[in-house]
Amino acid sequence: MFVAGFIAASEIGLWVLLGLGLALRYVLRMRRASTVTLALIPLLDLALVVAVAVDLHRGTEAGVTHGLAGIYLGFSVAFGPALVRWADVRFAHRFAGGPAPVKPPKHGPERMAALWREWFRVVNAAVIASVVLVGLVLLIADGDQDPVLLGWVGRAWVVVGLWFLFGPLWELPTSRRSDQRDEDMASARSSS
């Protein structure tokens, strides 16, 4: 329960710091205070890892929340900067007259490039989660806690595989048809 509370606090803290940081930047025009506030976001992740390590060191039976904390940390670090950029563009548009957010492409090479970037973020998240979980196994956990934590490493890589399957690989035939259609249209225009 201790770690579950930290996961919830980290998630709530992320959104509070993000909202506060963007409000400081665009509403109150306090750029330096905004930068400092947004820089505090990774400290939430660090606090979560410390909480998990303390809980495991106390001898708590490793469970879902301990493994989930590692996964959460990986995804938070890998997707955090993109999330901040996404929110920043929308906040700037809404409150500071910034340009409208660019809609993601629905097909074509730009769509495939976006899917690949997203999938590489998932790979990065799995690497970070794996390093954290294996680090906990090597440095903190005891023999009874190890299998649970290592099981979450496997789950992280299953997510990577599924994301690949239903992301870039799934979209590949559609992208190729779209590329062929674009080539056909270009050759029709050039011949007329």
pLDDT, tens digit, 9 for 90 and up, residues 9-35: 989 999 999 999 999 999 999 999 999
The model's confidence at residue 149, banded by pLDDT at 50, 70 and 90, is very high
pLDDT value at residue 3: 86
DSSP 61-127: PP-HHHHHHHHHHHHHHHHHHHHHHHHHHHHHHHHH-PPPPPPPPSSSHHHHHHHHHHHHHHHHHHH
Residue 165 has pLDDT above 60, yes or no: yes
> Which one, of 61, 60, 59, 46, lies nearest residue 6 by Cα?
46
Q: Most confidently modeled of 67-71, 123-127, 168-172, 186-190?
A: 123-127
Q: Which is higher by pLDDT, 19 or 191?
A: 19
Cα 60 to Cα 2: distance, rounded to the nearest angstrom: 10
Predicted confidence band of residue 132 (pLDDT cuts 50, 70, 90):
very high
% pLDDT > 90, the chain: 71
Taking the model in full, what pTM does it have? Answer: 0.83
The answer, yes or no, to whether residue 162 has pLDDT greater than 90, is yes
| pLDDT value, residue 176 | 59
Distance separating alpha carbons of residues 73 and 35, to the nearest angstrom: 21
In tens, the pLDDT along 48-61 reads 989 999 999 999 99
CA–CA gap between residue 44 and residue 169 (Å, rounded):
34
Burial of residue 174 (number of CB atoms within 10 Å: 0-12, 13-18, 19+):
middle
Q: How many helices (H) and strands (E) does the chain have?
A: 7, 0
Distance, CA of 137 to CA of 156 (rounded, Å): 16
SS3 at position 183: helix
DSSP conformational letter for 9? H
**pLDDT at residue 178, as a whole number:** 58
